[in-house]
A and B are shown apart, each in its own frame.
Chain A
Amino acid sequence: MLETTLSQLEASARERIAAAATAAELEAVRVEALGRKGALAGLSKQLGALPPEERARAGKLLNAVKAELEALLASRQAQFEQEALRARLDAEWIDLTLPPPGPRPGSLHPLTQIQTEIEDLFTSLGFAVLDGPEVETEYHNFDALNIPADHPARDAQDTFWLADGNLLRTHTSPVQVRGMERFKPPLRMIAPGRVFRHEEVDASHEHTFYQVEGMMIDREVSIAHLVYFMKLLLACVFRREVTVRLRPGYFPFVEPGFELDIQCLICGGSGCPVCKQGGWVELLGCGLVHPNVLRMSGIDPEEWNGFAFGLGLTRWAMMRYWVDDVRLFQSGDLRFLGQF
């Protein structure tokens, strides 16, 4: 008799748990079936009237039904909670493509970027990075570099002179001299920086541009070593192996002096407007340090050898980024500078 009621009650509760559409409805089912004044509670009150042996069996049965319904309610409850969470989070949808507020990221000047790469390369090879003044003495810019007054090589470097007789450095080479004055050999150094030439400005000429100077002085320094470092430098800047050629070039502060060309990266050497159909592009000047230069800085050329190189960063940046107007670098125009 009690068993029949119990199984009817269980079946009806299962049905109503399954049918509950909201958490509130489910709660009503729970109160009705399992609450203190609910159906199961009512039945358990009747247990006392049963004979002892039957009471135990019916009690067990009742507890089993109760446990089963509780589990069912809990799982249904969890389902409702999860749905509610999902709905709440869904309401929090936002458009992630919305452009973020605040300033757009800034960027470093292309020349700063390329210069940093070169500094890092040479620092990793044990070279010091040195600085020198932009306003230089005639001695450091010319004389100490084996370019005495009235030397025709001075023509190649049209110079801004200052009212006080000093000048704006025409190359970063004077930092070589300052490096040798400051440090004893052996010495490995580079000197990037701003240089000036007295030149009218147009798409391919600037009076203000950037160079990197490099120098190594040690007991054994040869052309073979120089070329080794130049190839590392080029691979760093152009991010690939490049074919180079070394040919005679004249710079008073080196002997022998070289011009270093790379095979044109645009046409691969077959000839194009960039390499003026020649297949090669002139990239830097270098050579073994002239004994006069060493001597003037108090270094014995019989004991020490060195190589030096200098390159125009601005021109390299033009090549790397395909810039066809050199004036853009000093223009301050964010339409240009914002691209790097």
Chain B
Amino acid sequence: MKFSYNWLCELVEGLDLDARRLGLEITMKTAECEGVTSFGAHIAGCPPDEIIELDNKSITHRPDLWGHLGLAREVAAILRKPLRDPVKLERIPAGEGAVGVAIEDFDLCPRYSGLVFDNVTVGPSPLWLQYRLEAIGLNPINTIVDVTNFVMAELAQPLHAFDRDLLHGGTIFIRRAREGEFLTALNEETYKLDRTNLVIADANGAVAIAGVIGGLDTGINERTRRIVLESACFSGSSVRKTSAKLKLRTDASMRFEKSQDPVNTVRGLARALELFAQVSPGIRLVGGLADQKKEIAPPEPITLPMDWLTRKLGREVAPEEVRDILERLSFGVTETAPRLFSVTVPSWRATRDVSIKDDLVEEVGRMIGYDSITPRPPAVACTPPPDNPQRMFLRAVRSALAAQGFTEVSNYSFLSEERARQFGFDPAEHVVVANPISSEQGLMRLSLIPEICGNIIENSKNFESFRLFEAGREIHKQPAGLPREVPHAVAAIYSRENGEQNLCELARAAQCLVPGAEIRPAAARCFEHPARAAEVVWRGEVVGRLFELHPSLLTGRAALIDLDLERIQRLSAVEKRYRPIRRFPTSAFDLSVIADLRALIGEMQKQLAGLAGEWLESIEFLRRYSGPPIPEGRQSVSFRLTVGAPDRTLSLEEVGAIRARIIDGMRALGYELRI
């Protein structure tokens, strides 16, 4: 929202701060000033101006600040200067209005006021008026429209002028639109309306979308001689809904949706009446004020205890100072008991902004300046916070992977349907974004893998080899309620060639998260190397997958591991108990198993261990060998087994018996053994 410094000077008597310093004061006490820029040149009657721009987001709660007078009130209060109110209500004569007003629902339209003028001349506005509008970014159009815009910019009260001769009948209806009712607006767009939209209508149909935009057919033109000037108050949320639905934001709708002050409608008309007389000579008011309104009870006074205020602010403010601040801001203050104020709220702050004592903390706080409050640690009970084991675990996972040489990446939670399909996921199983930025990002990820693959391919353009990982959430759709968000870690090792080594190193690195995990070969998914895919089994559950990325997907080779961190964390929670260190010597012997080339070493190891029995201390894979004299298609795999009893040294005979048992057992399982 742009404010003209010259305009503010007219409204605040003796304003002597320059625009820049004023901007800073406003920032510190009222709302964020985004900058001050110069406007204009030396044209007679148009002195150079400075434009103070406030951040719209910082005034969404302040309907009054959408006009110069509202900001002038703040400035006057901050600088202790008198305010010049430009509105002369006495200009509106008594008497019946020359147009009827019928409001269907006072909740949607708490007040509708209007004046009728004749002998109107429509032409270009005088230079001063055009200049002022241009300074704050509004386009001058003609005398009538320019005055309505001027009043809006000054009082935050949007006005609208209808050509009286183009209206049918003598009554203006404020009603819900009929289902399927159409209106062509001043922007020459035609809108299809429904029951949720509020319209202004004449006997024939809608002539404006209430609070948003006027109709084209009843707009002001060069031939206009009589006008109806509307100054109304509409429900903020209704205007907002309509404006959002029609995707049409206007200067009027932006103000109405903040919940404007119903008292302001007649003030707007009085101001317009005065300006019309200046810019449209000969114009005549017909009749008096047409005004329909819901009786709005004045807001309940707010009880403000001084001690409570002190506790909130964290410093004492003298009651006289509190009173002075609130009165400067136009609040009414009565001391109902010692250190207890009863505060009434001015109408322009009462619609949404100020209604409870907490709101008054802000009024006092901002005026004394928050920098006058000395920071202080609280005196509170010293208790340990509840812990968050999930987060601590996630942290440990990240640190462990980084220590193993993996660099952490962070990817979007979105993916496209096409990408989901490419990875064999059914788009229907995903959580769907209703309003994605692009169709590339229409689904919520069900796996971190697709994006990690993207990372691998991109980085392979710059690096010969690398390791990376992401720890993030998979989003799993549920039949009802919120999706399940499952923390996963995906780690990858890439190199130009030698995918086998990548897989080995990845399996080794994973040992830091799932020590002793078993790798169990599994059927490959479409993006996995068909002969290099496995499940990771830990403590009896499948906790992830280890695989090589299908080599057709990239140049080079990449091994990936995908771990379900929720499951791993759950399985990690086992009590550890010390096992006494063996006091008696152990015996070791080596065995070589001759097996098919694709026989699984992990399987053999399990079988050997099973046969060795309770005295097995450890089993260690030594080497594998294929080639002469081992027959073609076979391999020799050597293990070292160590056995021992906890309470004595095993005799040679006992060790020999274990060994013989294993050999017989393995032979029975179909293996050949080299002894």
Contact = CB atoms under 8 A, between A and B. Distances in A.
A256 B358 contact: yes
A150 B236 contact: yes
A272 to B, nearest CB: 15
| Interface of A: prevailing SS | mixed
B411 interface: yes
Contacts, number: 248
B376 A247 contact: no
A304 B458 CA distance: 52
B485 A112 contact: no
Size range of the chain B interface in the assembly? 35 or more
A264 interface: no
B407 interface: yes
A188 B61 CA distance: 28
B435 A198 contact: yes
B409 to A, nearest CB: 4
B596 to A, nearest CB: 33
B405 A104 contact: yes
B366 A248 contact: yes
Interface in B462-483: 462-463, 465-469, 473, 475, 482-483
Which interface residue of B371, B407, B436 has the most chain A CB atoms within 10 A? Answer: B407
Interface string A213-249: 0001010111111011011000000000000011111
Contact of B410 (A109, A153, A162): A109
Given A208-B412, A288-B358, A218 B483 contact: no
A112 B410 CA distance: 10
Interface string B393-423: 0010011011111111111110000000000
A208 B241 contact: no
Contacts of B475: 134-135
Q: Determine which residue in B374, B412, B463 has the highest number of CB atoms from chain A within 10 A of its CB, and name it.
A: B412
Contacts of A329: 410
Contact of B312 (A160, A183, A305, A332): A305
B409 A109 contact: yes
Contacts of B401: 106
Contacts of B42: none
Nearest to A207: B437
A334 B462 contact: yes
A48 interface: no
A153 to B, nearest CB: 6
A335 interface: yes
A290 B313 contact: no
Given A152-B240, A247-B28, A220 B412 contact: no
B410 A332 contact: yes
Interface in A96-152: 102-109, 111-112, 116, 119, 123, 126-131, 133-137, 149-152
B237 A150 contact: yes
A224 B371 CA distance: 10
Nearest to B241: A150
A330 interface: yes
Interface stretch (B186-194, B382-390, B521-529): B382-390
Given A106-B407, A198-B437, A334 B466 contact: yes
B314 A256 contact: no
A201 interface: yes
B58 A250 contact: yes
Contacts of B437: 198-201, 207
B379 A220 contact: yes
A63 interface: no
Given A291-B356, A330-B410, A334-B466, A218 B378 contact: yes
Nearest to B436: A160
Most buried by B among A123, A218, A225, A252: A225
A128 B386 contact: yes
A303 interface: no
Contacts of B390: 131
A255 interface: yes
Interface string A319-333: 000000000011011
Contacts of A298: none
Q: Chain A contact residues (Cβ within 8 angstroms of B): what range?
A: 35 or more
Nearest to B402: A106
A225 B258 CA distance: 32
A134 B311 contact: no
A246 B467 contact: no
Contact of A332 (B257, B356, B405, B455): B455
Nearest to A225: B378
Contact of A258 (B315, B370, B374, B384): B370
B362 A255 contact: yes
A204 interface: no
A123 B362 CA distance: 30
Given A150-B237, A334-B468, A220 B311 contact: yes
B373 interface: yes
B365 interface: yes
A171 interface: no
B375 A250 contact: no
A80 interface: no
Given A131-B391, A255-B361, A186 B313 contact: no
Contacts of A222: 311-314, 373, 376
A164 interface: yes
B595 interface: no
B385 A163 contact: no
A196 B408 CA distance: 20
Contacts of A334: 407, 409, 459, 462-463, 466, 468
Contacts of A106: 401-408, 467-469
Contact of A131 (B237, B370, B388, B406): B388
Interface centre among A131, A222, A333 (most CB of B within 10 A): A222
Interface of B: 27-32, 35, 57-62, 236-238, 240-241, 257-258, 311-315, 356, 358-359, 361-362, 365-366, 370-371, 373-388, 390-391, 395, 398-399, 401-413, 431-437, 444, 451-452, 454-455, 458-459, 462-463, 465-469, 473, 475, 482-483, 485, 493, 505
25 contacts: A102-B405, A103-B465, A103-B467, A103-B493, A126-B384, A126-B385, A128-B386, A131-B388, A152-B60, A153-B60, A207-B437, A224-B315, A224-B376, A227-B370, A227-B375, A228-B378, A230-B375, A248-B30, A249-B58, A250-B31, A256-B358, A259-B32, A330-B411, A332-B452, A334-B459
- A-B pairs, top 8 by smallest CB distance, nearest first, are A224-B314, A222-B314, A256-B362, A103-B405, A150-B237, A332-B455, A246-B370, A128-B385
Given A160-B435, A259-B58, 18 more contacts: A106-B401, A106-B468, A108-B398, A109-B409, A128-B387, A155-B60, A163-B433, A186-B380, A198-B437, A220-B311, A223-B373, A225-B376, A245-B28, A288-B361, A330-B412, A332-B409, A333-B458, A334-B409
Interface of A: 102-109, 111-112, 116, 119, 123, 126-131, 133-137, 149-153, 155-156, 160-164, 166, 168, 183, 186, 188-189, 194, 196, 198-201, 207-208, 216, 218, 220-225, 227-228, 230-231, 245-250, 252, 255-259, 276, 288, 290-291, 305, 329-330, 332-335, 337-338
